[in-house]
Structure 1
Amino acid sequence: MNGAAKGAIVGGVFLAMAGGAAYGVVTLVGDSGEGRSGAGGNGAAGTGAVTSQRAAGPVTEQETAQVAKAFLAAWAAGDARAAADLTNNAQAAQPALADFRSKALVSKAVITPGTPDGTGVPFKVEAEITHAGTPKTFAYDSRLTVVRGAGSGKPLVDWQPSVVHPQLQKDERLRAGTPASPPLKAVDRHGKELAPEQYPSLRPVLDALRKTYGEKAGGTPGVEVWIEPATADAPKRTLATLVEGTPGQLRTVLDADVQAAAEKAVAQYAEASVVAVQPSTGDILAVANHRQDGFNAAMLGRRAPGSTMKIVTAAMLLEKGLVAADRPAACPPSATWDGKAFRNQGGFSLQGQPFSTSFARSCNTAFISLIDDVKDNGALPRVAKEAFGIGLDWKTGIPSQDGAVPVTSGSAAAAEYIGQGPILMNPLNMASVTATARTGTFRQPVLVKASLDGRTLATAPRSLAPGVSAQLVRMMRQTATSGTAAKAMAAVGGSDKGAKTGSAEVDGAAAPDSWFTGFSGDVAAAAMVEGGGHGADAAGPVVAAVLNAS
């Protein structure tokens, strides 16, 4: 910067004046200790740069307010370099902030900080997006946190993609313009529109349907703001429609009434997901998620399902003749396999009770103690795949995960018997497991009929062995009336109902994931609440509400 330049602080942003012209520049010593300057700057001391002495200890409220104000002012002014230099990761922040102008088409922005709470600062973004000469308003709230730089000790904005927009995740970008796929009007099985405004948790599902079927359904694109995904196979997530396009229409097999109940049920819990399936057809009646990240965990999640997996394990043991619903089964307080001890919750045991009671009470040891009699670590994965369709290539109409039950050994094989270890499932998978147990035959779940696009659905090599489905249904009915699911299922009307509870331990989590699956008539549903505790406590009421709506 030449000697004629004059410096001033305006609104927390350093304005450098040279030759009568003003331009925004914020120069700070970076977290690595290297200076970076903006336009015309050299980063040297004495240039009027905003600097901070090396400090230690917690960031003060005054520092938080000052840094947040400067960062937001630079961002609003369109100076991505200056704003990025106020973060602890300028290399990642600068292109994201530059994209805000060039790729999200923001022509003007007013960004207003709120009152700091500790080291956090909420703020409101009011952006004017101009496309084809027409400006449109796009407003939202976000939040930033101020931390000390690891090397410099300076107060800096902790850079996260969510600073730009709260739904942005790693490697995602904010975009605006005319999208590749026209808008899509999805309707349920009865022709009722499934608008995201009315069914908000369906948004990722509708975005995925649009990516797959938008061009085939007709329609013309409008102007939108969306989140470009990190991977090419993921759907974009629409945030706002600035200019309406003409939507094409797509009929799904969802049921608007069941979907509405599912939306309301998951809204009662953080990080909750549920899926409802029709056992006689495989049609998916509802998909709902209540999550901060907008992830479709109901269909894409991969977590241990806990004791809901005992439906599959019981099927395998029944097929091998090692148990029968009405035959006594040992249920000691603990069982050891390959040096690892497994216990029942609270250390309970059952003496002289039939296997159906062990199933209804979720006795871990009744299952694990039979591994030595099975003598085959591949038996459970085979039944899961061959009879329940787990691990086959499901083509639901949008991307989904169809579960994994890998062949393993030692204590991990024992853990799989009770839904722990390397098993990975989601509510869609477990709703399908219950649907298969209900009818004895796997029918691949679908969101749209295969006849729409001619895709080939997954088919299981075989049905359950004769009599196994009837015993599974009987044991699930007992679980729903006098077992661990009785409290939650008491709210479900009618006598034709069954269920299974599950709690899955997760490394590092304060509480286990809550799992629950059940059926009522020709509807099967499964839910998972991350960190929700016991299966009947959180996931149970979600499933009960969905079953009652069918």
Structure 2
Amino acid sequence: MRNGAKIGMVSGVLAVVASGVGYGAYNIWTGLNSSGGGSGTSSTTQAAPVRTGPPTDDEISSTAKDFLTAWSDGDAEKASQLTNNAGDSQPLLAGYREDAHVTKVTLTPGAPTGAKVPFTVEATLSFEGKTKPWSYSSSLTVVRGLTTGRALVDWDASVIHPQLKKGDTLTTGEAKAAPVKAVDRNNIELTKEKYPSLGPILDAMRERYGSKAGGKPGIETYIEKSSDGASADTAPAKTLVVLAKGTPGLLHTTLDARTQAAAETAVKKFDESSVVAVKASTGEIRAVANHRADSFNAAMQGKLAPGSTMKIMTAAMLINNGVASEKSPVLCPSEAIWHSQTFHNLDNFSIAGGTLETSFARSCNTAFIKPLSKLSDLHVADTALPSTAKKYFGIGEVWNVGIASADGSVPETTGPNTAAAMIGQGLVQMNPLNMAAVTATARSGSFHQPVIVPRSMLDGAVATAQPLPYNTAQQLRDMMHTTATAPYGTGTVAMSGVGGYKGAKTGSAEVDAQGKSNSWFTGFSNDLAAAAVVQSGGHGGDAAGPVVAAVLAAGS
């Protein structure tokens, strides 16, 4: 009974201290003055041992209840002191009322699963005479405080709302941007509901073009992204509730609803997959789709080694430098060494008496590394590929696509990295948008920087590059056509259902500490070019190939 009496006394003191100097003072008081549970006759007060180990079921339930009660009462200070990070939690908890304009909230805890407690939120939002109910679910986790031993809510911004991240703010007021009604090239409306992959893209378009397209903002509750993290372009404000609708502006895009629908369906067959399709003769983006665990637009913003799809540019470089040509014999041994680094072909295959065309179609790595000795004699081994990528394919220029995108990178290298770059490994980085543009350049003979809105809507100029020499472009098309049609072509199976004049290139990119390589595939049919990546998808023709083929079949 001694312990029970002591808890009662502390509770009594709590009521007085909390009302006098604030809840934070109680934390200090209990840490310094708690009794060790002695007889009470000693004049020396000893601190109680700090509790260790996971929180008990009772602690989890009571801590969650106390935190949710303080939060719902609007006592941000008290609620923050029940977390393990009062400094970060207090501003968000206070902002829930002050910035998000929540006038009433009911927080109902559910049954805990271990230390995790789910809860539901029933709130009312009010701003300048506009009100709206708001319901959602979230969760919190209770942990043992490292220094105090108290059971505390393990603070994360997602406790407030599951879509909040560190540094984000929750705001109700005039929307950051006017809404848009985005339409495809045939004036078909594009919505997130019908085309889920376009969700983040439509948000980005709204952020950049809402007012420019003639729209007027409404009243919304939204998540404003941290200025310390992604920029507004890469992570626009996220609308959660619309209290009063704005007036949408009409935004014309270069997308094609039919091709977009095919891309959406195709990527769903593989986890962590992305695809982009562009019109080869103009650079107009016809489709962008992602199927990922996150909402990242990897199709346009990813940065990955492209594997053997890089051989399109490598082949152009070899032809332009007079080192090889489509029909010229090239060596394709099972392995090649450059600067003491050994490079292999898949399953160590080799080709006897082959040409550049057969090595391209069968994706022989060593055939694209062995010519480095000749390039070295010309004193361009480390610079020829980056120069070709920038001069003819626009890789290395700053692209102005219309929304945020990552530019491809083929940097100058030395040593083994030079050989790795020839086959799309090492320091080379691309995404499906970049590789679709590379294929479009090979198909049309000239680089047309991809755009997703009419060029008249863009702020600033687009990137440019020189046309490929006619003979070089023709040889690239021939080799890609062979890859997509010859019995030995690595892209033939995937492209079998694609009509028209077609071409392809496969790629498999190895990634450190990843058991399975990334699957890459790029191809064209008539005037449409497309590229896809499936992370951990294996061989290029197995996963990314069917994605590209489905898009080309629908859009070409």
The amino acid that maps onto 2:424 is: G
CA contact (8 A) 1:480 1:486 kept: yes
Which of 505, 520, 532 is equivalent to 1:527? 532
Bigger Rg over Cα: 2
- Give yes or no for the alignment of 1:44 onto 2:49: no
| Deviation sequence 1:279-334 (CA, Å, 0-9, x none) | 01110011122334322222222222222111111111122222222333222222
| Deviation sequence 1:81-108 (CA, Å, 0-9, x none) | 4444444443333323333332222223
CA contact (8 A) 1:412 1:421 kept: yes
- Give yes or no for the alignment of 1:445 onto 2:450: yes
The alpha carbon displacement at 1:410 in A equals 0.9
The amino acid that maps onto 1:392 is: E
Distance 2:358 2:544 in 1: 22
- Give yes or no for the alignment of 1:499 onto 2:507: no
- Give yes or no for the alignment of 1:487 onto 2:493: yes
Distance 2:284 2:13 in 1: 61
Larger strand percent:
1
| Deviation sequence 1:333-392 (CA, Å, 0-9, x none) | 222222222212222222222222222222221112222221221111111111001121
Assess, with a 3 A threshold, how the Cα gap between structure 1 residues 258 and 337 changes in structure 2: closer, same or farther.
same
Instruction: Please tell me the root mean square deviation across aligned C-alpha atoms, in Å.
Output: 3.2
Larger helix percent:
2
Distance 1:166 1:292 in 2: 15
Aligned residue in 2 for 1:367: 368
Aligned residue in 2 for 1:32: none
Distance 2:9 2:484 in 1: 74
The amino acid that maps onto 1:516 is: F
Aligned residue in 2 for 1:192: 188
Distance 1:42 1:149 in 2: 12
CA contact (8 A) 1:325 1:355 kept: yes
Assess, with a 3 A threshold, how the Cα gap between structure 1 residues 148 and 214 changes in structure 2: closer, same or farther.
same
Distance 2:88 2:58 in 1: 26
Which of 379, 398, 407 is equivalent to 2:403? 398
Assess, with a 3 A threshold, how the Cα gap between structure 1 residues 336 and 521 changes in structure 2: closer, same or farther.
same
Assess, with a 3 A threshold, how the Cα gap between structure 1 residues 465 and 180 changes in structure 2: closer, same or farther.
same
Distance 2:22 2:506 in 1: 59
- Aligned pairs for 1:79-478 (under 5 A) are 79-146=75-142, 149=145, 156-231=152-227, 233-234=232-233, 235-375=236-376, 376=380, 377-453=382-458, 455-460=460-465, 462-478=466-482
The amino acid that maps onto 1:497 is: K
Distance 2:528 2:57 in 1: 54
Percent of matched pairs sharing the same residue: 52
Which of 54, 58, 61 is equivalent to 2:51? 54
Distance 1:308 1:7 in 2: 74
Secondary structure at the aligned position of 1:328 is classed as coil
Q: Which moved more, 1:159-168 or 1:470-479?
A: 159-168
TM-score of the aligned structures, taking structure 2 as reference length: 0.85
- Number of residue pairs aligned between Structure 1 and Structure 2: 524
Q: Which moved more, 1:268-277 or 1:65-74?
A: 65-74
The amino acid that maps onto 2:30 is: A
Distance 1:417 1:272 in 2: 24
The alpha carbon displacement at 1:255 in A equals 0.8
TM-score of the aligned structures, taking structure 1 as reference length: 0.86
The amino acid that maps onto 1:503 is: S
| Deviation sequence 1:427-450 (CA, Å, 0-9, x none) | 111111110111110001111111
Q: Which moved more, 1:141-150 or 1:272-281?
A: 141-150
CA contact (8 A) 1:167 1:294 kept: no
Distance 1:88 1:366 in 2: 59
Aligned residue in 2 for 1:29: none
Structure 2, unaligned runs of 5 or more: 1-6, 35-47
Structure 1, unaligned runs of 5 or more: 26-35
CA contact (8 A) 1:52 1:154 kept: no
| Deviation sequence 1:485-527 (CA, Å, 0-9, x none) | 233323x331422222222233333433222211122111112
Aligned residue in 2 for 1:542: 547
| Deviation sequence 1:48-87 (CA, Å, 0-9, x none) | 9xx995324x667776555555544444443434444444
The alpha carbon displacement at 1:270 in A equals 3.1
Assess, with a 3 A threshold, how the Cα gap between structure 1 residues 41 and 285 changes in structure 2: closer, same or farther.
same
Assess, with a 3 A threshold, how the Cα gap between structure 1 residues 109 and 280 changes in structure 2: closer, same or farther.
same
Distance 2:10 2:553 in 1: 66
Distance 2:130 2:446 in 1: 56
CA contact (8 A) 2:23 2:81 kept: no
